[in-house]
A = this chain, B = another copy of it.
Amino acid sequence: MEGLFRQYIRIYRPLMKSLNELLEKYQLSYSLWQVIVYLKDEGTSTLVDISNYYQVEKPSITRRVHRLQELGLIEEVPSANRREKIMELTAEGKRIYQICREEITALEHHISKGLSEEEQQTAFQFLMKIQDNI
């Protein structure tokens, strides 16, 4: 399929731009949002978990986590293991998650306008499968 990856990459920046504009209202960016989403799903996690999931190096995750702590959206939970930091969303973090979740879902619906659920399913399958091959 000629041009598939080219198109994939070409769309990334504009998409990211609209997401970042949306999140900017809450002093967030998509990279910070990713951490929030991960913690929302997992409940608690260490920095290494996040690093592995998004395949981003630890120092980058350290920075994201510090920023989110400054914003009061996540906090450390006490742990027996003093080597690792276990993080979770604060009440404020959960609140912001809900607000942004709704806005992002609305944006996604807008962007997917005119596309059948089936088409979207196929696209999703495609993205899931290529992940393993990369």
Contact = CB atoms under 8 A, between A and B. Distances in A.
A6 interface: yes
A112 B134 contact: no
Nearest to A121: B1
Q: How many copies of this kind of chain does the complex include?
A: 2
A18 interface: yes
Contacts of A124: 1, 3-4, 7
A112 B133 contact: yes
Contacts of A18: 134
Which 9 A-B residue pairings sit nearest by Cβ, starting from the closest?
A1-B120, A123-B126, A122-B122, A7-B127, A111-B133, A14-B134, A4-B124, A123-B123, A111-B130
Given A4-B112, A10-B131, A115-B126, 5 more contacts: A3-B124, A5-B108, A9-B16, A110-B133, A112-B130
A55 interface: yes
